[in-house]
Amino acid sequence: MRTDLIDQESDELPLQFITITGLADAKKPDLASRRLVRAQARKSAYRSATHALTSVSVKPEGPLTSKFKLSSWQRRSSKKKLQEVLSDSLNFSDEPPLLRLTAEIAPINDLPIPMNTMTQELLHFCMSFSCITVLALYLTLNADQFDMRTNSFALNPEGDWFTIARSNPAALHAFLSTIAVLRNLHLGIGDSTAVSHHRSEAVRFINRELNATGQLSDVLIAAAAVLVNAEAVESNFERASVHMRGLVAMVQLHGGLENFQRSKSLQRVITWADFCYASTWCLPLSFPLLKSLSSPVLNSNSTAFQPNAHEKMSLQHLDIVDPHISVLKLLAMLRSISEAISAFPDVGGDRVAIGNSIYVAEYELLSLQLPRPGRITDVIDISECVRLAELLYLHLAIRELPLNAHRHRGLVERLFHSLLQTQDLTKLIASETTLILLLWAFFVGMVSVTNPARHTILVKRMAELRNVLQFKHYTDFARALKNVLWLDRFSEPWSVAVWGEIGLESRMDLEGSIDNEHFLEWIWRDL
């Protein structure tokens, strides 16, 4: 390095010019040159700085003053309110839930379909919020953000459905169309854009694959079954009928359902489409009972709901006869399923056995042909209403399908007409076991019936049954329901609500009016 001194006679400090005369050596830095550069920079900054002191104005001393806010003051404060500060700090958003469903998908799309915003929202809703859809049940996630969760026992105990669905674009589009249907039900919206898009894409891919190869793959048949499931949830009979006929034809061309044994998840998806179609429109089943899904099953006590010897009386003295033995056996099977789900996974359990038991129970409930009543016209047979209540309980409590799905309308209608709406239940003679079964059937009816007039009728009948059974407290009512069928997540909140309604109805009958101020006090006192 070379430095030259310039203008040594000047009063100002000389400016030192630095230049490089050789190649830079990174391994041996010139520390002296670095110090010189830093020193020159400091000197330059010092020479350019102004050193004039800023004058400080001192306010004259005066009397102290204070301010206070009058109640008539209208000026808005510039400070944020506490709620706004908390909202900002928590990054809270008042947007509707639909706008906040932004998926966090990996930057590389490994799905067989294009990834757009609509698809991201559906995947995020399915995987993050674990919606209770007919097909989201295939997943094994659990979340309670929107009071919805996943029940994978019924359709995906093996845990491989999503791997199968994502391997084929037709199956994945059908899967997403069903998620879109159930998301609309859950959020209470009527947006059909995602439903129509993914449904039409599923049909297009099915037709394209059939035209290209002329062969029926297992996953392609499952895609058709998924479409039937989605259309049953919407209660779209025309679309579901077309796809159900196509599904039956494809399964027959494939050699029957037994040829799907290498993938039991596909068998469960196809049979569930059959169940949905049959139960929604009260039609016969299209496929036989599969041996591969019938074993192993849970053990059940078939005599649990039969009246004891002390309760049995001669038929001529009873107004209500006990339900048919086949209905009681299915009730016992549903009870063993409920107990196994409640205990899982704390005490272990066989997921496949639970799934098989659900399949067998629903198949038997849908195919059961009850004998017609004989010539005895004065005796009431409650077998049909208990069977329909069992089927609704299986859908709402065990399979955890949404209550507001259109597919339940026909089943709820049949259950309401099978219940005893016109009889005065306080004058009927029956065993205590039969009365408790009837109470439980009315309970399921009250949960599922949404028509206000019909709901009021069921409340009156339930209040009569409460008086006949002499239930004074909620614990008595809940104990009776638990003796039949009970799942905490479903039964507990609904039983509290129903008990409040029938308790209010009983007090209205006694007092003739409602005291609104003491309404909640009455309910909580009984609880």
Give DSSP secondary structure letters for 330-388.
Answer: HHHHHHHHHHHHHHTTTT---HHHHHHHHHHHHHHHHH--PPPP-S--SSEE-HHHHHH
Q: Which of 527, 519, 457 is nearest to 492 (CA)?
A: 527
- Report the percentage of the chain scoring pLDDT > 70: 66
Distance CA 432, CA 476 (A): 13
Q: Is the peptide bond before 114 cis (omega within 30 degrees of 0)?
A: no
Eight-class DSSP state of 18: E
User: pLDDT tens digits, residue range 186-231?
Assistant: 777 777 888 888 889 989 999 998 888 777 888 899 899 999 988 8
CA distances from 239 to 143, 244, 248 (A): 32, 8, 14
The pLDDT of residue 39 is above 80: no
Report the b/e string of 118-152 with b at 16+ CB within 10 A.
Answer: ebbbbbbbbbebbbbbbbbbbbbeeeeeeebbbbb
Q: Which segment, 62-66, 83-87, 174-178, 363-367, is predicted with the most confidence on average?
A: 363-367
Please report, as a single letter, which amino acid is at residue 357.
Answer: S
HSE-CB at 193 with a 13 A cutoff on CA atoms is: 7
Distance CA 116, CA 123 (A): 11
User: Sign (positive/negative) of CA torsion 80, 83, 84, 90?
Assistant: positive
Confidence of residue 77 (pLDDT cuts 50, 70, 90): low
Mean pLDDT, range 388-398, rounded to an integer:
96
User: pLDDT tens digits, residue range 406-461?
Assistant: 889 999 999 999 997 667 788 888 888 899 999 999 999 999 998 999 999 999 99
The pLDDT of residue 496 is: 94
Distance CA 282, CA 103 (A): 39
Long-range contacts from 478-485, C-beta under 8 angstroms, 24+ separation: 480/436, 480/439, 480/440, 481/439, 481/440, 481/443, 483/436, 484/305, 484/331, 484/335, 484/436, 484/437, 484/440, 485/331, 485/334, 485/335, 485/338, 485/390, 485/393, 485/397, 485/440
Paired tokens of 108: 């590389």
Asked if residue 96 lies in contact with residue 183, where contact means CB atoms within 8 angstroms, the answer is: no
Residues 6+ apart with CB under 8 A from 5: 14, 16
Q: Which helix (H) or strand (E) holds 418?
A: helix 409-418
The pLDDT of residue 424 is: 77
38: region left, alpha or beta (phi > 0 left; psi from -120 to 50 alpha) = alpha
Asked if residue 221 lies in contact with residue 247, where contact means CB atoms within 8 angstroms, the answer is: yes
Beta strand segments in 436-504, E: none
User: pLDDT tens digits, residue range 286-305?
Assistant: 999 999 999 899 988 766 66
Mean pLDDT, range 10-27, rounded to an integer:
49
The pLDDT of residue 143 is above 70: no
Q: State the residue for tokens 């928590």.
A: 90
Paired tokens of 269: 């998806």
Mean pLDDT is lowest, of 26-30, 32-36, 42-46, 457-461, for 26-30
Asked if residue 237 lies in contact with residue 243, where contact means CB atoms within 8 angstroms, the answer is: no
Instruction: Provide the mean pLDDT of the chain.
Output: 75
The pLDDT of residue 518 is: 47
CA angle 156, 236, 441 (to 5 degrees): 65
Confidence of residue 527 (pLDDT cuts 50, 70, 90): low
Asked if residue 151 lies in contact with residue 100, where contact means CB atoms within 8 angstroms, the answer is: no
The pLDDT of residue 478 is above 80: yes
Distance CA 181, CA 185 (A): 7
Greater model confidence, 385 or 159? 385
Q: Which helix (H) or strand (E) holds 118?
A: helix 117-128
Asked if residue 4 lies in contact with residue 36, where contact means CB atoms within 8 angstroms, the answer is: no
Asked if residue 224 lies in contact with residue 250, where contact means CB atoms within 8 angstroms, the answer is: yes
Q: Which helix (H) or strand (E) holds 78?
A: none
The pLDDT of residue 73 is: 56
Eight-class DSSP state of 321: E
Greater model confidence, 418 or 149? 418
Q: Which segment, 113-127, 437-451, 495-509, is predicted with the most confidence on average?
A: 437-451
Distance CA 31, CA 361 (A): 87
The pLDDT of residue 480 is above 90: yes
Greater model confidence, 185 or 31? 185
The pLDDT of residue 85 is: 39
Angle between helices 325-343 and 351-367 (to 10 degrees): 150
The pLDDT of residue 346 is above 80: no
pTM, to two decimals: 0.72
Mean pLDDT is lowest, of 53-57, 129-133, 266-270, for 129-133
The pLDDT of residue 428 is: 80
Enumerate the β-bridge partners of residue 321.
381
Q: State the residue for tokens 């009156």.
A: 460
The pLDDT of residue 109 is: 67
Distance CA 304, CA 326 (A): 13
Number of H helices, E strands in the chain: 18, 4
User: pLDDT tens digits, residue range 236-280?
Assistant: 899 999 999 999 999 999 889 988 877 888 899 999 999 999 999
Distance CA 337, CA 333 (A): 6
The pLDDT of residue 322 is: 82
Instruction: State the Rg of the chain over Cα.
Output: 36
Please report, as a single letter, which amino acid is at residue 367.
Answer: S
The pLDDT of residue 392 is above 80: yes
